Structure 1
Amino acid sequence: MIITDTCYGVIPLRRKNGDQEQQQEWEILVIQHLKGEHWAFPKGHPEPNETALESAKRELHEETGLVIDTLLVEQPLTEHYNFENKRGDTINKSVHYFLAQVSGTLVLQAEEVKDSRWVPINDAHTLLTFDAAKNLLKSAIDALHQHSINDKMLDSFHANKHLIIDSHSHIHEDVDNLEFADIKLPLHCTWLMGTTVDDWTRVNRYGDRLGTRTIRCFGVHPWFVHLVHPPKELLDTNPEQDPTKMVSDTYPTVINTAWPDQLRQQLTQYPNAMVGEIGVDRVTKCRATGKNEQAEQWIVFDQLIKIAVEFNRLVSLHCVQLHGKLLDYFIALPIDQMPRKIALHTFSGKPSTVDSFAKMKTKGNRFYFGISFINLSSSKVYKMIKSIPDDRLLLESDQNTPLEAESSILDVVMAICKAKEWTVEQTITITRQNAIEFQA
């Protein structure tokens, strides 16, 4: 029998002291697997619903304790080989490796890894056991030579990253890595976006720890509107018609009807806090009904806008495939009922939509446009970034863990550099100044 087997892994690299122009500056981590005692790279099988990259990151961290800082090549390198198992089956194995610069403290997984060594990349072939791994190493060296991030740009990023303002983040959701965010996250300031009433507690936990390095933001995300304003069909499942409870066979939920007053309390306690993340979404479906409940989203969104105006607060706004309706909403809104400024998070509209917001009569100067790693999956992202006024562009990580915030910001910085034809230093300086002006 022929069995196909697929794994994912990482070829871990770090910088070595020396001439930045030389390939020899790279050191590569090779591990000795406990099973078979062969020398190779960290890898393993994916877990259910994991993407290739998610699987590779997890295996790297489990086997070595390291994390990816930067993907040096977007597409993985593939190693193919065949072998026969004890039952006589032919295993046709493919291992897809991501070439990445890593960081962290090396902690080997005792159940899987016997030993490890950091070696110069051009010497690693003497340590690797199998020809397939040696061929993979050659491909990695070639890929580094042809596709690696421009060294000067990367150096400039690291020299200036302490100035970066991350204008949209969810790193507070990772409650286990608060200490990492406090000690190792190098960014100047991170805006923490609360998405539910319960999430506001996590925002405050990070805010208390990181102090002036954060801006607290409190909102109700459109994905979670049903927690504060459930669709009627869910209330109908409650035989007692109790407005504080929603009972469903598959998704029981207690409704928080006190959220507006709780939001006002947070905004009163934190005078520089923003209202966010809020918005409207045409794609997401309410988990409890399986439907896109837009009517309830707009009701809650309108309430949140009113509270933002009441407290004269800034707004971070999520919008998916409803930019036309959102434009109509703000055009119709009287000027005295407009928030003083609005950041359109991970903006996904067309260049013409950028113009429609940015040039809105008497209100256009209140709109800013955030770019995150989510935007980078679109082939049209560079055209869209180019259309954003230089003084309205914001930098976002949109990450839910501090472990990946810096690498996400780096990817976005590189995309903006390409679209705007700016240097890394210009990109960081301009987006920083825009974030400061947004808060003014």
Structure 2
Amino acid sequence: MEANFPWSGTCDAHTHAHDDVAHLEEITNLKTNKICLMGTRFEDLDVVSKLATDFQMKVIPCFGFHPWFCHLLSLENEPESKIHYRTILKDIGPKDPSRSNYLEEFIDSLPSPKPFDTWHNKLENLLETHPNSLLGEVGLDKTFRLRDQKSKQLSKVQTTMQHQTAIFEKQLDLAAKYQRAVSMHCVQSTGAITELLNRRINEQKPLPPRICLHSFGGSVDTIRALTKQKKKKEGVSVDIYFSFSVVINDKYDRLPDLIKAVPEDRLLIETDYHSPFGLDHYMAGIIKLVSEAREWTEEATVEKTRKNFIKFIGETI
């Protein structure tokens, strides 16, 4: 990048740089000014919490349970392991007699699920401890298959959408309670997300003030539907933002159209990258792509997305 590239204004709305546990200290050397560090599972929430304390000027902590890991969470306080997993997991493989015990064998390899109070209290305590924190990464995923505990390969087992939705809504309740923005994972689930938001609004259930659909890969029509007007009814409202990354979105031919469809004041940028090494490169890359799509200078892209970022996380310029 050019020596005068406006790094001081760059804000990464979604990253997992802490996954590279051997190089956490490199976060302090990032040129990118602010990063939203996404917790996804019980084991990494304390890591995000510590990094937010160690690098207060750079890290915005985000705490949540990703749909890929929500099968490990129970809605009961004294879950019976096998009953829990039999209820919320499904085998999507071929109906072959030779694999009749496939799901049971898969369940046998799983750890005991976390009781509701254990994971819910953990999440709430972190949101309370870090007043500048967001909820994330949370959401829904219709396509993901769980990894086999032994082979580490993708299995033929999925978590039901019913359980994903239940865990997701418990987390949305906390985001609404503490008025925190949400970074949302949404894979082939935009219809389900829209239905969920509309249902909560119609039922007068509280919603968080702002939601970002990160690395958005849906349609232009979805963007227009969710941003045409505020999702609102009698005081219950939520502002929808959209964010894009090179890592996920660069493979989409329609990416420029998606970027152009987002209202200027709802556009965010991110890396969705899993290490401090390379993060600045991917940040510069998405700035370039957005600038080309919107016909903005890179300085303008950085400044516009910085203002949106600050509004999204709930701070003032």
Unaligned runs of 5+ in 1: 1-153, 240-245
1:39-73, Cα deviation, whole Å (9 max, x unpaired): xxxxxxxxxxxxxxxxxxxxxxxxxxxxxxxxxxx
Q: For residue 237 of structure 1, report the CA deviation from its aligned partner.
A: 9.0
Give the aligned partner of residue 391 of structure 1: 265
Q: Is the 8 A contact 2:137 2:185 kept in 1?
A: yes
Equivalent AA in structure 2 for residue 212 of structure 1: M
Relative distance call for 1:237 and 1:201 in structure 2 (3 A) is closer
Q: Is the contact made by 2:74 and 2:84 (CA closer than 8 Å) also made in structure 1?
A: no
Q: 1:376 aligns with which of 250, 268, 288?
A: 250
Deviations 1:76-104 (A, max 9, x none): xxxxxxxxxxxxxxxxxxxxxxxxxxxxx
- Picking from 5, 16, 19, the partner of 1:170 is 16
Question: Which of residues 305, 308, 316 is equivalent to 2:175?
Answer: 308
Report the Cα offset of residue 314 of structure 1. Answer: 1.1
Deviates more, 1:259-268 or 1:357-366: 357-366
Query: Equivalent residue of 2:183, what SS?
Result: strand
Superposed CA RMSD in Å reads: 2.4
Q: Does 1:256 align with 2:114?
A: yes
CA deviations on 1:163-220 (whole Å, 9 max, x unpaired) are 11111011011111122111x2011111110001111012123212211211111000
Q: SS of the residue aligned with 2:25?
A: helix
Q: Which amino acid aligns with 2:156?
A: G
Partner of 1:201: 46
Following superposition, the deviation at residue 233 of structure 1 comes to 11
Cα distance in 1, alignment partners of residues 127 and 85 from structure 2: 33
Q: Is the 8 A contact 2:180 2:313 kept in 1?
A: no
Q: Write the distance in 2 (CA, Å) between the matches of 1:167 and 1:394.
A: 7
Shift in Å, 1:329: 0.9
Higher relative contact order (CA 8 A, sep 6+): 2
Q: Does 2:145 align with 1:285?
A: yes
Residue of structure 1 in register with 2:276 after alignment: 402
Contact 2:11 2:306 in 1 (8 A): yes
CA displacement at 1:291 relative to structure 2: 2.6
**AA of the residue aligned to 2:73:** V
Query: Please, which runs of 5 or more residues in structure 2 have no aligned partner?
Result: 87-103, 149-154
How many angstroms does 1:252 deviate by?
Answer: 2.6
Residues 305-363 of structure 1: CA deviation (Å, up to 9, x unaligned)? 11111222111110001101111111121255111111111111111100111124544
Q: Which residue of 2 aligns with 1:25?
A: none
Quote the offset at 1:229 in angstroms.
3.4
Amino acid at match of 1:307: L
- Is the 8 Å Cα contact of residues 331 and 360 (structure 1) preserved in structure 2? no
Counterparts of 1:369 and 1:282, CA distance in 2:
20
Residue among 213, 223, 242 paired with 1:344:
213
Contact 1:235 1:247 in 2 (8 A): no
Normalization by structure 2: what TM-score? 0.81
Q: Quickly say closer, same or farther: Cα 1:348–1:234, change in 2 above 3 A.
A: farther
- State the AA in 2 paired with 1:291: V
Is the 1:229–1:296 Cα contact (8 Å) retained in structure 2? no
- Work out whether residues 209 and 238 of structure 2, in 8 Å CA contact, stay in contact via their aligned partners in 1: no
Judged with a 3 Å threshold, the aligned counterparts in structure 2 of structure 1 residues 323 and 205 are, in CA distance, closer, same or farther, namely same
Q: CA deviation at 1:286?
A: 2.5
Quote the residue 1:117 is aligned against.
none
Change (3 A) 1:329 1:274: same
Q: Which runs of 4+ in 1 moved over 4 A?
A: 246-250
* Alignment of structure 1 residues 14-33 onto 2, 5 Å: none
Read off the aligned partner of 2:250 and give its amino acid letter. L
SS of the aligned residue for 1:186 comes to coil
Instruction: Give the SS at the match of 1:299.
Output: helix
The alignment-based identity, stated in percent, is 30
* TM-fit CA distance, 1:251: 2.5
Alpha-carbon shift at residue 247 of structure 1 (Å): 8.4
Which amino acid in 2 is paired with 1:298? T
Contact 2:267 2:305 in 1 (8 A): yes
In our comparison, the structure showing a higher alpha carbon Rg is 1
Cα shift readout 1:341-387 (whole Å, capped 9, x = no counterpart)? 11111111111100111124544861100111111111111111110
Match of 2:56, SS state, is: helix
- 1:320 & 1:345 partners in 2: Cα distance? 10
**In 1, Cα distance between equivalents of 2:85 and 2:277:** 42
Aligned residues: 278
Query: Partner of 2:37 in structure 1?
Result: 192
